[in-house]
Amino acid sequence: KRQDAGLGNGGLGRLAACYLDALATQAYPAMGYSICYEYGIFKQKLEDGWQTELPDNWLPGGSVWLDPRPELSIDIHFEGELQEYWDNQYHHISHVNYSTVQAIPYDMYVSGHDSEGVSVLRLWAAKAPSFDMSMFNHGDYEKALGQNAAANAISKVLYPNDNHLEGKALRLRQQYFLCASSVGDIVNNHMSVYGTLDNLHEKTAIHINDTHPTLAIPELMRILLDDCGYTWEKAWHIVTNTFAYTNHTVMAEALEKWDVNLVKRIIPRIFSIIVEINNRYCAELMERNNGDSAKTTRMSIIKDNQIHMATLCVVASHSINGVSKLHSEIIKHDVFNDEYTDTPRKFKNVTNGIAYRRWLYQSNPGLTSLLREKIGDKFLHDGSELKKLCVFENDKSVLEDIMKIKKDNKERFAKYVKQNSNILIDTDSIFDVQVKRLHEYKRQQLNAMNIIADYIYLLNNPDADFVPKTYIFASKAAPGYYMAKQIIKMIWCIGEELKKNPKLNEKLAVVFLEDYKVTLSEILMPASEISEQISLAGTEASGTGNMKLMLNGALTMGTYDGANVEIHEAVGDDNIFIFGMSTPEVNQLKAEGYDPEKIYNSHAVIKSVLEKMYKGINGATFEEVANSLRHADRYMCFADFDSYRGTQAKASETYKDKYLWNKMSLINIASAGIFSADRAVTDYARDIWKLI
Ligand code: 8GP
């Protein structure tokens, strides 16, 4: 049985995997760095709809893909104290009494399509250095044992939060471990070729994938200052011309901040470098802004005893980008507005892209052979070739082929689900799919509200003309995210209750599939017909599932958020179902004061939906979900409800016209080329890394 290397949480890590594929295809010499977790993202099991987590012990099978490189191991130093001294006019800092953790690299090779290029994903495993006998002999055996356990814990398990920070000491250790080993490796490589770091920034680009690897910045400073004796100015010049940063979220709870005292204790030298970076930066700001101290405080890297990692990235990088046009605008005008005004030229956009050969050529053989027959082979190298399919938009026989391919893929998927989960799916119903991490901002609860409203409607109108629909969900919740787990259980319960009404169930069915992962996704994407991308406008940085679904001919039911905006641009008004408030409308409503309770009291359908949650679904009640909607509704489900429900009805109506639906589907497939990871890495190579 195939084992996924579940070394990430969701879209962020999967994006990096897609980019390694594209970089190899275009033969860019690229290396990705991460941690060789013994346990990846947990396996999800639903017990009566309640998510439980099981360890993902992937290495017994997965290690065949790993090539150990112990000769490249690096020692990482934690804790200890700093000693400062002057030697002539030179200021020296030495880090003493530290404890050492060994980083051992394991390489995973990623081949590209029809290319000589190979990307390397270098994964670091943490190991305690041989037991410190001297410490033991001096009676300090507790400390010696503790150091051993702490070292081994570092690469034990992936933190399972998506879009949420985790301020724990072990997490900080993981981050520094990754950064120090990777920067050490980059420096060793460079030294072996050039024998100097003077030209590091001319030969190397280090790209920071969100803020988790931010400590690479002060770590490179440390090497240049302490190990190589560069002046601060020279070191800073090299560092700031080496690093570029991509931001992947604007959600406040996900923007990483580290407690000053924690950082000081665990990595004292790195802490002192961050303080110095900030002091110099603030002094510079004061000078540039005529002593505007309020502005300097706002922009400071360290505030209220916390280090703001994204701010550090912005200060130390020569390029900052968001991952869709809308998101990159929000970064400039909202999240980092002061920084943007200060250094506008640093701010860029690179819209995300996917390894489309994986999600088309490899996952959808039926569609691939139709494409080869109709537009030739070139699309396998060049996503923009897909556009050629457009000439067939009114060709009934091609539309029938697309219809048939979708039906076959739905059957293949239904068979897989029957075998693996013993769930039956009606392949004549519309497959309406929402698959992504569970988060309130992504609004799976809005989807559920609409389903409950349909359910109530069908109970009252059993003979109504209703296009049969199967809602397919798959999603993991962070283990500590109670509301997300409630929402999973609620969706699962809706599915169970519907099964108890077989007649109604023929029209309306809900399945919640366990353990969403790449392997499942590869079978599901080709079978999907509606792609639910319904986050509150301004919250989803980009999305990449939206691109995979579009490429496989699913029609987007989406808000004007993230890359949906660009999908809309690519396919035009007629080939997408857009609904809900725009980002400015959301901001305006927030400013006016959003009152969900008021909507609740005056909206009969919303009221009936929440009453159902209070009264119980399949024997369980969901008052916490209902109350949080009624009293807070942080992501404004009520405000977008009518628009969503109306657009869902429009989609069902459209589905009745098979040719129209498949024409829309064809246009989506034909327009997906722009969302290729090949295009995205070319953007990075040209606009940021200056490789072209
Ligand atoms: C995700 C975004 O939520 C998603 O829209 C985007 O497609 C994906 O990144 C790839 O760009 N962001 C994160 O997962 C994220 O920011 N995670 C934690 C670092 C906060």
Q: What is the model's pLDDT at position 666? A: 98
Which of 41, 175, 249, 533 is the pocket-test mutation for ligand 1 (most atoms within 8 Å of CB)? Answer: 249
Per-residue confidence at 1, pLDDT binned at 50, 70, 90? low
Mean model confidence pLDDT for the chain: 96
Q: What is the model's pLDDT at position 86? A: 86
Ligand 1 centroid, distance to 29 Cα (angstroms): 25
Ligand 1 centroid, distance to 287 Cα (angstroms): 35
Range list of β-strands (E), 437-513: 469-474, 508-513
Ligand 1 centroid, distance to 541 Cα (angstroms): 6
Taking alpha carbons only, the member of 207, 212, 217, 219 closest to residue 319 is 207
Q: What is the model's pLDDT at position 140? A: 80
Instruction: Please give the residue that has the higher pLDDT: either 146 or 572.
Output: 572
Q: What is the model's pLDDT at position 162? A: 84
pLDDT at 119 over 70: yes
Q: Which of 95, 173, 248, 612 is catalytic?
A: 248
Atom 14 in ligand 1: which residue has the minimum CA distance?
A: 12
Per-residue confidence at 434, pLDDT binned at 50, 70, 90? very high
The response to whether residue 162 sits with its C-beta less than 6 Å from ligand 1 reads yes
Q: What is the model's pLDDT at position 532? A: 99
Averaged pLDDT for residues 304-329: 98
How confident is the model over 647-679, as pLDDT tens digits? 999 999 999 999 999 999 999 999 999 999 999
> What ligand 1 atom has the least distance to the C-alpha of 11?
8
The response to whether residue 529 sits with its C-beta less than 6 Å from ligand 1 reads no
Instruction: Please give the residue that has the higher pLDDT: either 133 or 152.
Output: 152
Q: Is 341 a catalytic residue?
A: no
Express as a percent the part of the chain with pLDDT over 90: 94
Q: Which of 269, 437, 630, 679 is catalytic?
A: 437
Q: What is the model's pLDDT at position 135? A: 75
Averaged pLDDT for residues 3-8: 94
Atom 12 in ligand 1: which residue has the minimum CA distance?
A: 248
Averaged pLDDT for residues 177-203: 98
**DSSP tag of 113:** S
The response to whether residue 541 sits with its C-beta less than 6 Å from ligand 1 reads yes
Query: 33 pairs with which residues across the strands?
Result: 122
Ligand 1 centroid, distance to 436 Cα (angstroms): 11
Q: Is 248 a catalytic residue?
A: yes
Atom 15 in ligand 1: which residue has the minimum CA distance?
A: 163
Ligand 1 centroid, distance to 338 Cα (angstroms): 23
Spacing of C-alpha 153 from chain mean position: 25
Q: What is the model's pLDDT at position 531? A: 99
How confident is the model over 528-573, as pLDDT tens digits? 999 999 999 999 999 999 999 999 999 999 999 999 999 999 999 9
The response to whether residue 538 sits with its C-beta less than 6 Å from ligand 1 reads no
Spacing of C-alpha 408 from chain mean position: 30
Q: Is 645 a catalytic residue?
A: no
How confident is the model over 474-519, as pLDDT tens digits? 999 999 999 999 999 999 999 999 999 999 999 999 999 999 999 9
How confident is the model over 369-390, as pLDDT tens digits? 999 999 999 999 999 999 999 9
Ligand 1 centroid, distance to 432 Cα (angstroms): 23
Query: 531 pairs with which residues across the strands?
Result: 433, 556
Give, in order, the Cα–Cα distances in Å from 639 to each of 302, 318, 538, 585, 642.
Answer: 37, 40, 15, 11, 8
How confident is the model over 578-627, as pLDDT tens digits? 999 999 999 999 999 999 999 999 999 999 999 999 999 999 999 999 99
Secondary structure class of 576 (helix, strand, coil): coil
Q: What is the model's pLDDT at position 209? A: 98
pLDDT at 131 over 90: no
Q: Which residue has the tokens 């035009």?
A: 572
The response to whether residue 470 sits with its C-beta less than 6 Å from ligand 1 reads no
Q: Which of 14, 222, 442, 476 is catalytic?
A: 442
Phi, psi of 362 (to 5 degrees): -85, -35
How confident is the model over 163-181, as pLDDT tens digits? 788 889 999 999 999 999 9
Which of 18, 159, 163 is the pocket-test mutation for ligand 1 (most atoms within 8 Å of CB)? Answer: 163
The span from the CA of 349 to the CA of 249, in Å, is 13
Atom 7 in ligand 1: which residue has the minimum CA distance?
A: 543
Residue 558: CA count within 13 A, CB half-sphere: 29
Tokens of 283: 């002094």
Ligand 1 centroid, distance to 9 Cα (angstroms): 9
CB atoms within 10 A of CB 564: 28
Ligand 1 centroid, distance to 104 Cα (angstroms): 28
Q: What is the model's pLDDT at position 87? A: 84
Q: Is 548 a catalytic residue?
A: yes
Q: Is 404 a catalytic residue?
A: no
Q: What is the model's pLDDT at position 223? A: 98
Instruction: Please give the residue that has the higher pLDDT: either 165 or 206.
Output: 206
CB atoms within 10 A of CB 368: 19
The response to whether residue 352 sits with its C-beta less than 6 Å from ligand 1 reads yes
Q: Is 265 a catalytic residue?
A: no
Q: Which of 351, 539, 544, 559 is catalytic?
A: 544
Q: What is the model's pLDDT at position 165? A: 82
Express as a percent the part of the chain with pLDDT over 70: 100
Q: What is the model's pLDDT at position 137? A: 79
> What ligand 1 atom has the least distance to the C-alpha of 210?
19
DSSP string, 32-92: EEEE--SB-SPEEEEETTEEEEE--B-HHHHGGG-EE-GGG-EEEEES-EEEEEEETTEEE
Per-residue confidence at 76, pLDDT binned at 50, 70, 90? very high
How confident is the model over 318-368, as pLDDT tens digits? 999 999 999 999 999 999 999 999 999 999 999 999 999 999 999 999 999
How confident is the model over 85-95, as pLDDT tens digits? 888 888 889 99
The span from the CA of 684 to the CA of 663, in Å, is 33
The response to whether residue 324 sits with its C-beta less than 6 Å from ligand 1 reads no
Taking alpha carbons only, the member of 221, 255, 126 closest to residue 178 is 126
pLDDT at 429 over 90: yes
Ligand 1 centroid, distance to 470 Cα (angstroms): 28
